[in-house]
């Protein structure tokens, strides 16, 4: 009984850690949707906004060869630009990353040409959990040491729950060395000491177009999104008809490994999952027991069932679920249970499996056949 209790507690801890990470990432996408809404639909800000991109590629600096991928770039009248990067909490690598962003000369357009940042430029760096003063000091010390001539503005973004409705709240961090945005309507909103609220009801209609931030998606979020949104787009017309008629496929959906790059993008999605995101999603779902990897066939097999939304079957235990329809909680629960009770062996990085070839030993204990050399039978 003690062992069972201990196992259950470890499963719960796995679930809670992964679910907390999932919720934090979901809030990041809420913030991106809120930015998209105010840049397009708040009149005084929209009138000043020339363009914005939530999938930018910016030119690398120094010896780097690959483009950088911040979460957004905004261009505004008369000569303003802002680079946007959102994070959950502080990481020691943030300093080097933000300094690299600060040294980039501009955006790379689809044809590879460089569009330089404006004369009045700046970086907006947002955190859900504001770094401590010592970390902020490290960040701004390095920023100033690099001699970057435009401001770095650190702000906090959070979801506030209120009787009149939830809202994302952006507020500039009150740190003495913190920078200020250019004095556009958008810049003034981000500079406000009172913060700038955006109601969830107002940006909800654009929220579904953000499936990830530009540079990454966590595995649990990719898995839930792929299962609930992307999976049905892989189906043939015959399979769609079968799902509509019986709520399940008679045979598994097969996704060949050499065709993983064929990701069907749902309509009206501004930042969709990438090939790497889909691979990460399928591996998470594999650990959750919803996807199988057939190594000989070099394919993933997915058993899809239960209604047109391709929802997870209502079987199995669920830890901490507030609603029976909370698909994310169900998938993460199954992942946590299997991760503890039936873990999939992870390949060791940097080591290749070697075929052990045994050297034949000369048989000195068996008499030779009684045929003289050179004779024929």
pLDDT tens digits for range 256-292: 999 999 999 888 899 999 999 999 999 999 999 999 9
Same domain assignment for residues 36 and 181: yes
Q: Does residue 227 sit in the same domain as residue 187?
A: no
240 alpha carbon, distance to own chain's centre:
28
Which residues pair with residue 123 across a beta bridge? 83, 152
Q: In the listed set 326, 341, 356, which residue is the last one of a domain according to the structure?
A: 341
Instruction: Kindly state whether residue 56 falls inside one of the protein's structural domains.
Output: yes
Is 126 a domain residue? yes
Instruction: Quote the DSSP letter at residue 259.
Output: G
Helix/strand/coil for 232: helix
Buried residues in 220-256 as b, exposed as e (16+ CB within 10 A): bbbbbbbbbbbbbebbeeebeebbeeeeebeeebebe
The number of folded domains in the chain is: 2
Cα–Cα distance between 240 and 347 in angstroms, integer?
36
Whether the Cβ atoms of residue 203 and residue 36 lie closer than 8 Å to each other: yes
Are residues 252 and 169 both part of a single domain?
Answer: no
- Whether 135 and 165 share a structural domain: yes
- Choosing from 173, 207, 241, the residue where a domain stops is 207
Please return the burial class of 282, using the count of CB atoms within 10 Å of its CB with bins 0-12, 13-18 and 19+: buried
DSSP state of 68: B
- Which residues share a beta bridge with 248? 305
Same structural domain for residues 225 and 104?
Answer: no
Q: Under DSSP, is residue 170 helix (H, G, I), strand (E, B) or coil?
A: strand
Q: Exposure of 26 by Cβ count < 10 A (0-12 exposed, 13-18 middle, 19+ buried)? A: middle
Residue whose C-alpha is closest to residue 56's, from 72, 36, 35? 72
Do the domain assignments include residue 37?
yes
Do 206 and 33 contact (CB within 8 A), yes or no?
A: yes
Distance CA 109, CA 119 (A): 19
Instruction: Identify whether residues 254 and 164 lie together within a single domain.
Output: no
Q: Are residues 88 and 188 in the same domain?
A: yes
**155 and 189 housed in the same domain:** yes
**Is residue 256 within 8 Å of 298, Cβ to Cβ?**
yes
Among candidate residues 207, 227, 257, the one where a domain is terminated: 207
List Cα–Cα distances, 35 to 171, 208, 299, in angstroms: 13, 14, 39
Domain check: are 203 and 265 in the same one? no
- Give the range of the structural domain holding residue 232, as residue numbers without chain letter: 219-341
Alpha helices in 185-253 (DSSP H): 185-191, 200-207, 219-225, 237-246
Tokens (6 digits) for 240: 């769609």
CA dihedral 128, 133, 138, 139 (to 10 degrees): 40
Residue 3 inside a domain? The answer is no
13 inside domain:
no
Instruction: Say whether both 198 and 232 belong to one domain.
Output: no
1 belongs to a structural domain: no
Q: Is residue 12 part of a domain?
A: no
Which domain CATH number covers 112? Answer: 3.40.1350
176 shares its domain with 44: yes
Q: Which residue has the tokens 């945005």?
A: 181
Q: List per-residue pLDDT tens for the chain, 377 residues long.
A: 455 678 889 999 999 999 999 999 999 999 999 999 999 999 999 999 999 999 999 999 888 889 999 999 999 999 999 999 999 999 999 999 999 999 999 999 999 999 999 989 999 999 999 999 999 999 999 999 999 999 999 999 999 988 888 999 999 999 999 999 988 999 999 998 889 999 999 999 999 999 999 887 999 999 999 998 899 889 889 988 887 777 788 888 999 999 999 999 888 899 999 999 999 999 999 999 999 999 999 999 998 875 434 454 444 445 544 444 488 988 999 999 999 999 987 655 555 544 444 444 444 443 333 333 444 43
141 plus 120 within the same structural domain: yes
Q: Is residue 369 part of a domain?
A: no
């Amino acid at each position: 009984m003690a062992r069972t209790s201990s196992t259950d507690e470890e499963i719960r801890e796995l679930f809670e850690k992964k679910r907390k990470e999932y919720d934090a990432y979901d809030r990041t996408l809420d913030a991106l949707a809120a930015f998209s809404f105010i840049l397009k639909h708040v009149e005084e800000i929209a009138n000043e906004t020339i363009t914005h991109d939530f999938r930018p590629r910016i030119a690398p600096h120094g010896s780097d060869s690959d483009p950088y991928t911040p979460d957004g770039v905004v261009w505004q009248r008369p000569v303003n630009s802002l680079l946007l990067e959102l994070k959950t909490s502080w990481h020691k690598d943030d300093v080097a990353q933000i300094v690299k962003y600060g040294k980039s000369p501009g955006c790379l357009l689809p044809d590879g040409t460089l569009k330089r940042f404006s004369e009045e430029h700046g970086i907006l760096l947002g955190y859900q959990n504001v770094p401590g003063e010592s970390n902020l000091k490290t960040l701004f010390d390095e920023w100033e040491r690099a001699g970057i001539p435009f401001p770095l503005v650190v702000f906090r973004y959070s979801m506030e729950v209120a009787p009149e409705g939830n809202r994302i709240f952006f507020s500039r961090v009150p740190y003495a060395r913190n920078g200020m945005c250019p004095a556009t309507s958008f810049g003034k909103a981000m500079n406000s000491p009172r913060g700038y609220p955006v109601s969830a009801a107002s940006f909800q209609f654009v929220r579904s177009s953000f499936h990830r931030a530009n540079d990454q998606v966590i595995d649990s979020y990719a898995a839930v999104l792929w299962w609930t949104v992307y999976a049905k787009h892989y189906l043939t017309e015959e399979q769609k008809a079968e799902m509509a008629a019986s709520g399940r496929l008679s045979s598994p959906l097969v996704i060949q490994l050499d065709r993983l790059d064929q990701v069907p993008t749902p309509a009206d999605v501004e930042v969709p999952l990438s090939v790497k995101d889909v691979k990460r999603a399928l591996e998470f779902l594999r650990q959750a027991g919803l996807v199988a990897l057939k190594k000989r066939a070099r394919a993933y097999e997915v058993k899809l069932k239960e209604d047109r939304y391709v929802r997870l079957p209502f079987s199995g235990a669920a830890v901490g679920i507030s609603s029976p329809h909370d698909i994310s909680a169900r998938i993460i629960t199954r992942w946590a249970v299997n991760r503890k009770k039936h873990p999939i062996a992870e390949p060791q990085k940097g080591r290749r499996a070697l075929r052990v070839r045994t050297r034949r030993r000369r048989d000195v204990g068996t008499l030779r056949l009684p045929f003289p050399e050179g004779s024929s039978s």
